[in-house]
């Protein structure tokens, strides 16, 4: 077998992590995440692809209850504002959803992007300037899959005011917060995504999303 090839069981393990990954909100256990495990998932994130190999990310590990409480307070305000944007049955369903585990998760993690890390001209970013931000999202996905393989749940909290997040974590103005994540061991992983289970949305059929050669062409 080619040294670079995956054995069938290795390939299957990768797909298992992908298909069983969930956005976790409500089933975090209080057990601490060992430093060695946290280092492994951060190392996986750090090995994500990045435009021009600029590695624009930083990782702020948040475990102080006071800091978590400050961020949770902002979430509560932002969540009320978000709920007001929906109407009727959608609003009622939204109000029943648990959309964060900030205080319950033993570790919170903010992944940021330093857009100046490689100077003003970055290989590969010359014509699509947002490629550094996309690189940081790749780091999020690497971390998420590694966490799933470690038996850890991850929840992405996006209902936050960016300025309040900067203030709580002391993030400089030039640094862009990309993702605020809740991380920890969980009581269980749902068989299907929680939003699908709650009736918010269903997964779209793959065949409706794949085009051939040109937009809209399916054959």
Which residue in 21, 57, 41 sits closest to 134, CA to CA?
A: 57
What pLDDT is recorded for position 41?
Answer: 98
Can you tell me the distance from the alpha carbon of 75 to that of 108, in angstroms, rounded to the nearest whole number? 14
pLDDT value at residue 2: 74
Q: What is the pLDDT of residue 1?
A: 58
pLDDT for position 3: 80
Low-confidence ranges of the chain (pLDDT < 70): 1
End-to-end CA distance of the chain: 35
pLDDT score for 204: 97
Contact 117, 55 (CB under 8 A): yes
Cα–Cα dist 161/179, whole Å? 12
Look up the pTM and report it. 0.96
């Amino acid at each position: 077998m080619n040294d670079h090839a995956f054995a069938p069981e290795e390939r299957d393990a990768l797909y298992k992590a992908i298909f069983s990954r969930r956005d976790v909100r409500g089933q975090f256990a209080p057990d601490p995440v060992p430093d060695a495990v946290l280092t492994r998932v951060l190392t996986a994130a750090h090995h994500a692809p990045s435009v021009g190999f600029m590695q624009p990310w930083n990782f702020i590990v948040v475990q102080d209850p006071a800091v978590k409480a400050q961020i949770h307070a902002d979430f509560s305000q932002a969540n009320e504002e978000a709920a007001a944007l929906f109407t009727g049955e959608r609003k009622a369903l939204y109000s029943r959803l648990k959309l964060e585990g900030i205080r319950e998760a033993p570790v919170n993690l903010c992944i940021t992007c330093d857009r100046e890390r490689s100077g003003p001209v970055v290989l590969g970013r010359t014509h699509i300037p947002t490629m550094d931000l996309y690189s940081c999202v790749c780091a999020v996905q690497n971390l998420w899959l590694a966490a799933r393989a470690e038996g850890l749940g991850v929840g992405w909290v996006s209902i936050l005011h960016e300025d309040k997040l900067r203030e709580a974590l002391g993030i400089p103005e030039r640094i862009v917060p990309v993702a605020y994540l809740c991380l920890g061991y969980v009581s269980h992983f749902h068989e299907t995504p929680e939003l699908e289970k709650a009736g918010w949305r269903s997964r779209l059929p793959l065949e409706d999303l794949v085009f051939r050669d040109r937009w809209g062409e399916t054959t």
